[in-house]
Amino acid sequence: MIIPAAENLHLLEENGGVHIPLEYNSNDKGTLFAGSIYAGAVMAGYRLAEEIVTSLNLTGSIVAKEARIRYFKQIVTDGFAVASVSALIIHHFPSCASFPNMMRSLRPPEWSPWVTER
């Protein structure tokens, strides 16, 4: 699925994550714009959710219900967002029947997108 807002920010899905180019997403300080970092992180998490739902042959809509982000430092190059689910969570909810409850119960840091310098 193509996300028009992601196209406008030139966010590129590659290698299991989201590339956030500084060229199109810089702020007045010459660093990666916080809103673009946020968008890339949410998109990486959304794509991971899509992969998990597809792999379990589930149907329905995926909606980002809540998202929070902390910025630890300025990013002065392109960024790359990656999302992961804690292995502990997968261990506790191994069956397809448990998956919807697991997704509702996830809280950071169990469902974690990360953005790093490229």
Q: What is the mean pLDDT of the chain?
A: 79
Q: Name the pTM for this structure.
A: 0.75
Specify the CATH superfamily of domain 4-117.
Hotdog Thioesterase (3.10.129.10)
Share of the chain above pLDDT 70, in %: 71
Give 53: exposed, middle or buried? Use CB within 10 Å, 0-12, 13-18, 19+: middle
Tell me which of 22 and 99 has the higher pLDDT.
22
| 30 compared with 111, residue with greater pLDDT | 30
* Amino acid of residue 60: G
DSSP for 30-67 reads SSB-HHHHHHHHHHHHHHHHHHHHHHTT--S-------
Amino acid occupying residue 20: I
CB atoms within 10 A of CB 7: 10
- The Cα 5–Cα 8 span in angstroms is 5
* pLDDT interval class at 85 (50, 70, 90): confident
Rounded mean pLDDT of 44-66? Answer: 83
